[in-house]
Structure 1
């Protein structure tokens, strides 16, 4: 008969919880205890069994991750961070695509409930009351990433979007630009849309540059919407010398349309993006952008979630740092 975790705990003279924490690389024991447990596991030939482990601790070692667009470069980077941390700590990940405007969010939550996930990482979307109520009914912890909420029991991991957008526009101003357009997300989006618009407008105001409505364009953070906005920009704002795009995918859309229309970047038009996804350094010319540490954000969110799952304790919010990555799409005006 194969040894159980209870057998290991008895022989090592520790609690079952301690063996579980050692197996999952969690804290709460001395190095001496860890070595004793590992030695006992090796001597007994114990093989952790996910089903048995679940019966003991009432967990499935599975977490759910919800994205509005799983295929985007932004989501892929965050997911990479989540999965890496989850894998190290012996958790599996179930990924759900909630679609634009959360059309499938409640259905995804029902799927995760049926799979009995131990917790949820909720990304890039507003945590609406109906979503929160559904999660509350599941009685599992939730962590937001690239989103935020005022609900005290739900921690989040994100950058200060207002400040980051401000610094992107300020960077262009310091390069001598005064005619600066913006391609933003929706004004109705309180997570990444409105804060970045407010950062743009505050930077203009602080440097006594008048806001011009004809320099404001809207997209959905995706490549296609960046292309569409750029087409409008070239017609409606021919006098602008720089554009701040609220995502790298939209900024890359601008680069694509600029090449098609014979607009030279950065000679005729400077472009700065937001996110610093991998593709930003692969395009020609390489994109100057605001770096969000997306992989680290995913990892931090997963760390908070597993901490809450394992301890039952609350976790705190984290505002992560950002910085501008200079490449080749912005030039200084004479």
Structure 2
């Protein structure tokens, strides 16, 4: 069964069938309906390799992720898949584990497979990564990260501003002794900018803040939250609120506080960052800074397809953040 058989039975040209299969314009609704009906009747399944030879595409998008089990990443992938499937394409997820060697290997594999586009998430775009892709025509978009060094478009929120908003929210609720649990402070994407936002908000409101009131862990996981809170509570024993640099960190704080018999929010207020689905499942439900994760994934993917179709660059996009209030923050009188 070939595309010629479909064209013959539908009484249209092969080019028309190809346009319909690849979501290209140039046919009527009636023609599309007739061709799709013939495809169903004949049981025709277009060969992906053959389609690639026709339009010079493999109909696959590569996604590089640092942590495949991350709830944040699963939200991004949900948005990415929605758009790729609308374009008749599929995704290949590459789990880099934030390791340079794995990242380079995956980029080389994607390059050899002549992937149509790449979405690079939540990590630092290093020079050797960039050089691997630079000499090809493969469009690349950064998601939840950015590069000052290389001209690669990105989709993200303003981490510094969002962290400022989270801290100011706690201050406006009457909190003065506020600590922060962060990811790696050497992380220039989501580590240091969020720490800077926290520190700036405290200073802007003329509140005391010391370096030891910020505990930096290796990452943004539940375990980092548990470990970070045990350190923070000893460095700031009269603390009334914690800004956690991710929801998973915040859930670790809730767990550690429960084991220490510290009641949230009666004795300790907690605000997270990301607004993952699990934030509304915690006890108490977690107040959080919301990133529109699915929409960000969609936008990054749309940008990749726009670069593929128009063969030119696109503008980077900063998405707005917002505070989603639940029950983990108490207002002090």
Task: Work out whether 1:35 is the aligned partner of 2:29.
Answer: yes
In structure 1, the partner of 2:279 is 280
How far is the alpha carbon of 1:311 from its aligned partner? 2.8
How far is the alpha carbon of 1:114 from its aligned partner? 3.2
After the TM superposition, which of the residue ranges 317-326 and 148-157 deviates more from structure 2?
148-157
Q: Is the 8 A contact 2:3 2:17 kept in 1?
A: no
In structure 1, the partner of 2:2 is 2
Structure 2: how far apart are the matches of 1:20 and 1:311? 20
Cα deviations by residue, 1:205-244 (Å, 9 ceiling, x for unpaired):
1111122122110121111111100111122211111010
Q: What secondary structure, in the 3-state scheme, does the structure 2 residue paired with 1:104 have?
A: helix
Q: 2:120 aligns with which of 119, 122, 141?
A: 122
In structure 2, the partner of 1:244 is 243
In structure 2, the partner of 1:113 is 111
Structure 2: how far apart are the matches of 1:34 and 1:196? 52
Structure 1: how far apart are the matches of 2:203 and 2:275? 26
Using the size of structure 2 for normalisation, the TM-score is 0.91
In structure 2, the partner of 1:185 is 183
Q: Is the 8 A contact 2:270 2:287 kept in 1?
A: yes
Q: Is the 8 A contact 2:59 2:115 kept in 1?
A: yes
Q: 1:141 aligns with which of 127, 139, 142?
A: 139
1:176–1:95 Cα change, 3 Å: same
1:75–1:135 Cα change, 3 Å: same
Structure 1: how far apart are the matches of 2:154 and 2:4? 37
Q: What secondary structure, in the 3-state scheme, does the structure 1 residue paired with 2:237 have?
A: coil
Q: What secondary structure, in the 3-state scheme, does the structure 1 residue paired with 2:189 have?
A: coil
Using the size of structure 1 for normalisation, the TM-score is 0.90
In structure 2, the partner of 1:227 is 226
How far is the alpha carbon of 1:40 from its aligned partner? 5.5
1:4–1:140 Cα change, 3 Å: farther
Q: Is the 8 A contact 1:64 1:121 kept in 2?
A: yes
Task: Work out whether 1:307 is the aligned partner of 2:321.
Answer: no
After the TM superposition, which of the residue ranges 208-217 and 265-274 deviates more from structure 2?
208-217
Structure 2: how far apart are the matches of 1:107 and 1:59? 22
In structure 2, the partner of 1:50 is 48
In structure 1, the partner of 2:65 is 67
Cα deviations by residue, 1:254-281 (Å, 9 ceiling, x for unpaired):
0010001111111111000000111111
Q: Is the 8 A contact 2:156 2:317 kept in 1?
A: yes
Structure 1: how far apart are the matches of 2:283 and 2:327? 9
In structure 1, the partner of 2:291 is 292
CA RMSD of aligned residues (A): 2.4
Q: Is the 8 A contact 1:82 1:299 kept in 2?
A: yes
Structure 1: how far apart are the matches of 2:21 and 2:320? 32
- Segments of structure 1 that go 5 or more residues without pairing to the other structure are none
Q: Is the 8 A contact 1:19 1:37 kept in 2?
A: no
